[in-house]
Amino acid sequence: MVFPYMEAVVGFMILMYFFETYLDLRQHSALKLPTLPKTLVGVISQDKFQKSRAYSLDKSRFHFVHEFVTIVMDSTILFFGVLPWFWKKSEHFVTLVGLNAENEILHTLSFLAGVMIWSQITDLPFSLYSTFVIEARHGFNKQTIWLFFRDMIKSIFLSILIGPPIVAAIIVIVQKGGPYLAIYLWAFMFVLSIVMMTVYPVLIAPLFNKFTPLPDGQLRGKIEKLAASLKFPLKKLFVIDGSTRSSHSNAYMYGFFKNKRIVLYDTLVQQCKDDEEVVAVIAHELGHWKLNHTVYSFVAVQILTLLQFGGYTLVRNSTDLFRSFGFDTQPVLIGLVIFQHTVIPIQHLVSFGLNLVSRAFEFQADAFAKKLGYASALRSGLVKLQEENLSAMNTDPWYSAYHYSHPPLVERLAAIDKSDKKDD
């Protein structure tokens, strides 16, 4: 008797949907609380709390609908054999345009083109509603319809440009990989990730946003002084026009070895009127660098990728696995898709573990900024960002433990205050 892999996968997906919906309901109840957490009373203004509460509840209601539609579509596609049906249809399309349908690369690209069209169609209503209804209602959306669709067209064009060579390379590696297939696949993805991390900020990101050097002044001087004191090899300091799309704020670093760059969203600079708050946020980010969090995370991802490919090589020739999902052939891409579905339980556990580590890193980076003397500025900066982004003030502990990669504001402030008391 063949093990019902597909039925088990669909069953687990539905089980996880109910579990995560239970957590979402707990979070929704927390968001409905009419008062601030005790530690935020007098810290967060009542006006910002009410706006945050309304925004969070709107997003929560939308999330319930989106997740329900997603699980229904995903389960239907797997259970009723839509994938194998579509795989055969994509073969017919290759033949129809006069190409060789027996060429797996062409067949796979035809399949992926159809999947991309389908995902664009099904995701579009949700993206439009999220951007032009929810985000606009709460004052965050700055996009026009034209800019929205222009970004979408650019993304599609980049997928068409970058995707086929990557897909073709993976198929060839799997076909010719032999006993060291997992290592070859990992090596390819490792090189690809390095290339993309190098190319994305220089060639791709500027297609969507404008990067301008941070003007000379007090803020630039303070950031450069901080970077120099930590021997951070800062080469360029940019401001990005995030305000053209949203009033949400952020900051990030990128670059290898001695060629580091820091990028500030213009919204961050506008929202934090005090330069010290911006510098404190940068101190937190530099803490991640100084404490090697980025390196640890990168290494962890590489190990997990190698393990995933190792698992894939164990099942890629399993006729029973393919047949369970309705396939009478064993295409490379389909094998990868099926394998990803079969290891969903492990992925959930890994994701939970990575979130635990990420939250620990956030506390460490906060403590690092505090040791540099930015405790007060970091505290006020975190509060300012929480207020301006209308982030959730009340969070359910189970929900945040499962989903959050960053600790809630209440926990971060408590940790900063606790370390302050220890120093007194």
User: Model confidence over 212-225: pLDDT tens digits?
Assistant: 988 888 889 999 99
| Same domain assignment for residues 38 and 104 | yes
Name the pLDDT band for 256 (thresholds 50, 70, 90): confident
Tell me, yes or no, whether 128 lies in a domain.
Answer: yes
Tell me what pLDDT residue 419 has.
53
Tell me, yes or no, whether 85 lies in a domain.
Answer: yes
Tell me, yes or no, whether 111 lies in a domain.
Answer: yes
Tell me what pLDDT residue 139 has.
87
Residue 421 above 60 pLDDT?
A: no
Of the candidates 104, 266, 276, 285, the residue annotated as catalytic is 285
Please say which residue of 271, 286, 301 terminates a domain.
271
Which distant-in-sequence residues (6+ apart) come within 8 Å of 52 by Cβ? Answer: 44, 386, 387, 390, 391, 392, 393
Report d(CA 416, CA 374) in Å as an integer.
10
Taking residues 362-385, report their average pLDDT.
92
Tell me what pLDDT residue 57 has.
96
| 403 marked as binding residue | no
CA-CA-CA-CA torsion sign (403, 404, 409, 414):
positive
Q: Buried b vs exposed e over 392-408: b needs ≥16 C-beta within 10 Å?
A: bbbbbeebbebbbeebb
CATH of residue 243: 3.30.2010.10
Report d(CA 336, CA 166) in Å as an integer.
14
Tell me what pLDDT residue 209 has.
84
What is the rounded (10 degree) CA torsion for 100, 101, 107, 113?
80
Tell me what pLDDT residue 1 has.
62
Report the chain's C-alpha Rg in angstroms.
24
Tell me, yes or no, if 366 is annotated catalytic: yes
| Same domain assignment for residues 14 and 112 | yes
Taking residues 307-331, report their average pLDDT.
91
Tell me, yes or no, whether 420 lies in a domain.
Answer: no
Range of the domain at 52: 5-140+313-412
Report d(CA 124, CA 367) in Å as an integer.
41
Name the pLDDT band for 3 (thresholds 50, 70, 90): confident
| 138 marked as binding residue | no
Between 254 and 405, the more confident residue is 405
| Same domain assignment for residues 251 and 317 | no
Of the candidates 91, 104, 266, 366, the residue annotated as catalytic is 366
Tell me what pLDDT residue 99 has.
83
| 288 marked as binding residue | yes
Tell me what pLDDT residue 420 has.
53
| Same domain assignment for residues 11 and 92 | yes
186-203 pLDDT per residue, tens = 999 999 998 988 888 888
Please state whether the predicted TM-score (pTM) of the whole model is above 0.85.
yes
Tell me what pLDDT residue 424 has.
45
Contact 410, 40 (CB under 8 A): yes
Tell me what pLDDT residue 178 has.
84
Tell me, yes or no, if 104 is annotated catalytic: no
Domain count, the chain: 2
Percent over 90 (pLDDT), the chain = 64
Tell me, yes or no, whether 191 lies in a domain.
Answer: no
Taking residues 57-75, report their average pLDDT.
97
| Same domain assignment for residues 23 and 112 | yes
| Same domain assignment for residues 133 and 9 | yes
Taking residues 302-308, report their average pLDDT.
94
- What's the mean per-residue pLDDT of the chain? 90
| 3-state SS class at 374 | helix
Q: How distant, in Å, are the alpha carbons of 147, 179, 320, 354 from that of 105?
A: 34, 22, 23, 34
| Same domain assignment for residues 318 and 402 | yes
Helix/strand/coil (H, E, C) string of 1-70?
Answer: CCCCHHHHHHHHHHHHHHHHHHHHHHHHHHHCCCCCCHHHECCECHHHHHHHHHHHHHHHHHHHHHHHHH
Report d(CA 323, CA 5) in Å as an integer.
9
Tokens of 262: 């820091």
Between 25 and 273, the more confident residue is 25
Taking residues 145-169, report their average pLDDT.
94
What is the rounded (10 degree) CA torsion for 162, 163, 165, 168?
170
Taking residues 84-104, report their average pLDDT.
89
Residue 423 above 70 pLDDT?
A: no
